[in-house]
Amino acid sequence: MEAGAAVFGVFWAGILARSWVRRALRYGAIVLAVLLFLLSIRRSDVRVGRLA
């Protein structure tokens, strides 16, 4: 492994070790999934209640 790649891996491991960063990434992933779901409903023209 290159020295630069090892430093990069240690950097990300240090960042992801923090619980608030993991929580923020989790919430961000959930928000992204919901937005993509709503956009797919809108594009496919499926009527799901009044949400779309």
User: What is the residue range of 28's domain?
Assistant: 19-52
Residue pointed to by tokens 């240090």: 14
- Distance, CA of 14 to CA of 6 (rounded, Å): 12
Q: What DSSP character marks residue 18? A: S
What is the pTM assigned to this prediction?
Answer: 0.59
pLDDT of 22 above 70 = yes
- Total number of domains in the chain: 1
Q: What DSSP character marks residue 17? A: T
Average pLDDT, whole number, for the chain? 80
- Confidence band (pLDDT; 50, 70, 90) for 9? confident
Amino acid in the structure at residue 52: A
Structural contact between residues 46 and 52, judged by C-beta atoms closer than 8 angstroms:
yes
Q: What is the mean pLDDT of residues 3-32?
A: 84
- Distance, CA of 32 to CA of 48 (rounded, Å): 19
